[in-house]
Amino acid sequence: MTDLPIDDGIRQLPIVFEQALPLWGKEFAVPESQWKEAKVTAYLMLHRDRFVELKLIPVDSSHFRNGYQLEDRLYLLEQPSAYYRRHLLLHEATHWYLWKFLGGNGPPWFSEGQCERMGTHRWDGNQLTLGVLPSTTEEVPYWGRIKVIRDDVKQGIAPSLSSIFKYSDTAHRADSPYAWSWAAVTFFSNHPRYGDSFRKLIKPPLDYSNALTQSWTEVLHDERNLVETEWQIFREELDYGFDLERSIVNLKAPLIARSPNHSVLKVVVAADRGWQATGIRLKSNQSVKIQARGKIRVRQAKESANEPDWLSEPQGITLEYCQGYPLGALVGMFVPDAAPGDREEKLESKLTHMLVGSAAQQRSTADSQLLLKINERSSQLLDNLGSYEVEISVTEQLD
């Protein structure tokens, strides 16, 4: 039901909803027999007051910001773009789906994060895809979650996972908790170690208590500091076009292969991955020497433009720069290595980046892990090919 003029975008909304049903079913393990005949009523409103006057919205539920789900009813205010109108429908309909078939929505961070993830979509007029990470701002006009995240990171106010888990029922009256809840659920849903475990948590009865958070923190307990460190890297890198499969760091999958004399550590840094754990931990003020060789592809040839492959060695290609360093250069990062029992604020230590190139010697300013990667935006990793062979030596014998 709507008080808006009917156009093609509005006519498509029921089709979008129908295509979402099996996608939700697959994501949340709900059999078709349960959702096949399910029905919901959506109210798309230009003038909210008209619907209140007609008693279509309960007065005590009429002060929502953009959208609201109440049992089998969805209330949606008109949005400034067709994309965000669909996004709002899918977001509120995900709330409905969780309530209808799993018994509730879970704690605030999970509820809003999951609904934001399922609301973020691609639609070409015929085919719907849910849970996407947008490639550009133009793809998702007025969505704005990544801008909020980039701004918070720049201002140094990006939250830890522990802080996100503590969001209250009223936290999402502001934009930032929506963005960070989405980011946290996206992180766990695609995490190389925890993705499967996270999805297994989503089962009935999924009530509105904090039970899911408690269960999840028990799963993470032995690796809490490790996961917070991986989150710290993720939130700094997260941007439009971020390649979730290639760029979420797995600190428990180090690259180390010792040389015969045990004094030098040899690793292979792949060109088509984001940050890669070397497995090396440095004490504060400890020095590390890094040497690299090899050749990689950072741009695939474009025959239509008569452009050959872009090949790079560890020093990079100065024809183009990425994040302040030459494209294709070997770069490193010291990541503070929190010890078990560290307070939450200690996990917020600053990441330290460095240009390695073909050879470099750097000193750690804190107890840290060493990560390496090819200098390339996450969105551009897919066509990369090859690896650099890297030798690493430290001033003290490693265990």
pLDDT tens across 169-184, in order?
Answer: 888 888 999 999 999 9
CA–CA gap between residue 275 and residue 257 (Å, rounded)? 18
Give me the mean pLDDT over the 79-91 stretch: 97
How many percent of the chain have pLDDT more than 70? Answer: 94
First to last CA, the chain: 67
The pLDDT of residue 4 = 93
CA–CA gap between residue 207 and residue 214 (Å, rounded)? 13
Under the banding of pLDDT at 50, 70 and 90, the label for residue 254 is: confident
CA–CA gap between residue 199 and residue 379 (Å, rounded)? 25
Give me the mean pLDDT over the 230-245 stretch: 95
Give me the mean pLDDT over the 11-21 stretch: 97
How many percent of the chain have pLDDT more than 90? Answer: 79
* Average pLDDT for the chain: 91
Under the banding of pLDDT at 50, 70 and 90, the label for residue 399 is: very low
The pLDDT of residue 20 = 97
Per the CB < 8 A criterion, the answer to whether 159 and 98 are in contact is no
Per the CB < 8 A criterion, the answer to whether 70 and 38 are in contact is no
Per the CB < 8 A criterion, the answer to whether 234 and 258 are in contact is no
Question: Over 70: is that where the pLDDT of 66 sits?
Answer: yes
Give me the mean pLDDT over the 262-289 stretch: 91
Of residues 122, 115, 64, 60, the one with CA closest to residue 93: 115
The pLDDT of residue 259 = 57
pTM higher than 0.85 for the full model?
Answer: yes
Task: Give me the phi and psi of 72, to 5 degrees please.
Answer: -95, 25
The pLDDT of residue 370 = 94
> Which residues, including other chains, have CB under 8 Å from residue 328's CB and lie 6 or more apart?
271, 296, 298, 310, 312, 313, 316, 317, 374, 375, 376
Question: Over 50: is that where the pLDDT of 341 sits?
Answer: no
The pLDDT of residue 348 = 54
**Best mean pLDDT range from 9-23, 59-73, 205-219:** 9-23
